[in-house]
Structure 1
Amino acid sequence: MTKYPLLVRDVLKRKHFESAKLIAGHQGVNRQVLWTHILEIKDFDSLINGGELILTTGVGLQLERTTQIAYLQNLIRNGAAALCIEIGDYFDHVPEELVALADEHHFPIIIFDKIVRFIDITQDLHTYIINQHQQALTQLDTISKTFMELSLMPNGILKILQVLHQDTNAHFLFVSEDTKSFYYPVEAKKHLRLIEAHCQQHDVQEPIHLLTIQSDNFVIIPVNGLGQVWGYLCMHTKLPKPSNYMLLNLERATMSIAHILMRNRMLQERQQSREDEFILALIQGQPVDIQHYQSYLPIESRNLFHRVVVLNIHYQAHIVSEEDWQEVQLHNAMYVRSILKKLGFFPTVSVRQHEIIILAFYIAADSVKESQESFDQAIQQIVSRKAPQPFNKLAITFGISNVYQTIESVPRGYKEAKSVIQMQHNQLASSIYFKDLGVYRLLLQQDNATLLQYVKDYLQEILLIDQKNGNDLYQTLCVYLACNGAKNDTAEQLFIVRQTLYKRIERLESILGNDFLQAPYRLNLEMAMKAYELLNKTAPDLLRL
């Protein structure tokens, strides 16, 4: 790694190459030389890593022509920088076939007409490379400190781009969907729309993305934060491939830019007390001056809808300390907000101790306003493997309300989302949508006393018999109704013989009547059973009949 890489053309200018001649591969003089290697054998696949300047007296080239060609092809395939041959007793000329092959692959072949000391060449070049490497490390350390200092200053991203330009003389851009884009120098602006469009269309994720458009070469590096891509740092360069020094420099710059973006987002989240106040007032049904809080809401539209989304996050002391929990919750809210924005939502977010409440506004046609696809996609991304720590280790339960259009519906939506979470905790539902709770949507609107009386009206005698004698009449009734009166299926699911089942059914008929499978009596029984299950989970003490 060097700031100014050693190229073949630079090697040709060194003292020990004064008598050297470049006889092939003239277009490859910009190949980088990483090291030198004396090679006198024909089988060397495991001996070179790429970028070596190969020195040879030609001992390994004293072969038939096909083997000589294979030798040169192997050097090219293994990424050697160039081949230096000492013309003398072992090898007196370079065949035309080798010259043609080298020219075809832009692979430089250098010859020495006079005897040279390979040890002098290696010592000179290795000293140069090592010194450059040490100098580059020092420069990287210095520029890293500069980046960190600039990240604390106003307009820090632009100032970082200026330093990058001064260090490399290349053009730089920073593009982002969420924040302002920057470029330096002014000439770089002409590529701004091109890079923005490319990053949006291709969703660049790899650590280093190389892009060539006609004669323009671009290096694009994502700026990551909280498991998300927040923007892209782009370098416009004349070089077809950036040096290791440039890449390390860009890596340090992206880290400093990420710190700036993180700090800005943290400031935004810390300043959301009024947003918390707004949502809290809404869910409690308090009067709210919408004009006062208009900055937290999207512009009114005929096709603007919203759902209330609640994330119930279970605090786990072995993952996050109590002292850090508030800070972690702010990070969690930033992460969730960024995903929803990326998917086209207009989220208003409130952070509480163990909850994140979101008014997820979105624009849709009436025909698709109930669609859950976008919400499913958001939940999948929120809990994906790419989620940042410690978010990806926390136990999270989601609740999503029905679709509403008026802000006055927020209290109802919040209650619905909380009901979904309650039903999941009680293992009475698996869906995250209130719409999917079925008959529980009606039962949850009743107070416990009303539900208990309904259970007593239809099931009390059966439950008392089970409590007193240890019978299984209630379970038998549940399975029998679920099997729609099919006795064979019921017996199989209860793991009992049919004679036992017949006796239980006779007992049920003596209590409920012979027509308990018929509507509407059956519907009443099934509703009572659902009410019993709900009370058994939420208020078991009431069921002491």
Structure 2
Amino acid sequence: MYYDSSVLPTVAEILDMPVVQAGEPRVIGGAQGLDRPVRWVHVSETVDLATLISGGELILTTGQPLAYGAPATGAYLESLAAAGVAGLVVELGRYVAELPTFVATVADRLGLPVIALRRITRFVEVTEAVHRMIVADQYAELEFAHSVHETFSTLSVRRASLEEIVKTAAALLDSSVVLEDLAHRVLAVSARHTSAAALLENWEATSRMLPDDVGSAVPVGPHTQRWGRVLLRSERIPSARARMVLERAAQTLTLHRMIEKDRFGLHRQAQTGLIEDMVAGRVIDEQEAVARAATLGLARRARYVPIAVRVSAVSEPDPVARQRRAATLLDAAGHGVALSRATALSAADEQQLTLILGLGRDGELDPRLEQVCTALAAELRRTDGVQRIAVGVGADSESLLDAARELAHAAHVAEIALALESTVPRSFYRSGDVRLRGLLSLIRNEPGVQRFAETELSALLRHDIRHHGDLTPTLRRFLDLAGNKTDVARRMNISRPALYDRLSRIERILGVDLDDGEIRTSLHTALLIRDLTAGPDGP
């Protein structure tokens, strides 16, 4: 059974029940423990009861265990506290007329609530009422857990979007939920009882101060490949219930990322499947690969060229519309390839096209490749919402399997090329055509890279957040100017002693020596990664 101690009744709540109030309860001592949860109610007159219980019980007694003198009473209370009893309720009259004052002293020292009932009380009615409440609460939690399981299972089956998964978690908890990546960028948000703008104000600073080991933050991704966190922004929800919902949401988000969602028709599915099989090594026979490709329209005995087309387009929040755009891009790419009288295997997602071109083996490659890529780009730019494209090319080969293995490299080059601010864009790019900032853009979304940047800079960023400081901009200017302190001081309009003081504090906070060239390179790389992950409104 799903168990949440936060929904169990406390000692104070039980004392407020009418069946207990009828006995005129009075707290003798240990009032600091009245918020303890009560797992069960037990009636006993046994002195050595501690050996028979497991903790969390509220003990009801007519006072017999307290009728054997002060030493025995003290030992009895000590044993109950050691056993983890939630509290002791004593009915006065039959064995003890009043509880001696030392009982209050011992109870306060132990933090064990001791309550006296001045009127005779039917203990059976108390136990029935409390147990009915406990069982009803735990049954409600079991029902809630079952509902959560069914809800997220349904979302997984129908491949719900990130936004829908996060919105569902927020609705279940009636609180705001945020999904972020390792660079603290918000991937999806559902605001409850507040606006999204208010919730996300100064989000990076807020998120950085939230540790991973709290019930309101759950990591997302396989255990060894975490890629984000899902966070609850509320203090009102029971922690165990919130943790359960967040964990189920995180599992569904992890599965969402693992599932290929964008396949359009049997022919495209077959092309995508073949490309995936070759890249993953599930097809290792060249003849089999060529034969399967030929049935899908790729020329035999060709020069195979792996290319990837990275597309920058107007954001489309609707998942159906995004799939429709990907299908349109794939159609446009096929038309461009056909116009240039080439053949290709192709696959697509929302931001990238992947193709293996089949070109003739005669003649120079680059002029022919430029012809194909120009036609391809012209068709893609006619698609609504497309703003920019970049084509990355891997090493060509007469082996289809070798060309397929180069697709990942082509995709990397295309992503780098799209990040370059070139005034004269090329029809296609190879790895030699890209620079350092573009290279970092290739890997900026990798959890390991984000973790590297966080490790390098997090102490300094936290210091600036806490003290409203400007040490991070100082470090950035220092590294941008290759450590020229005179130039840095002049550009920042501060004195050299003031600059030296800032640099000394940076070294102390980060535990580094800024005269070390490798450390400078590492920190500068981390700052560039931070630039690329911060977005247009970032620092």
TM-score (norm 2): 0.46
Max Rg structure: 1
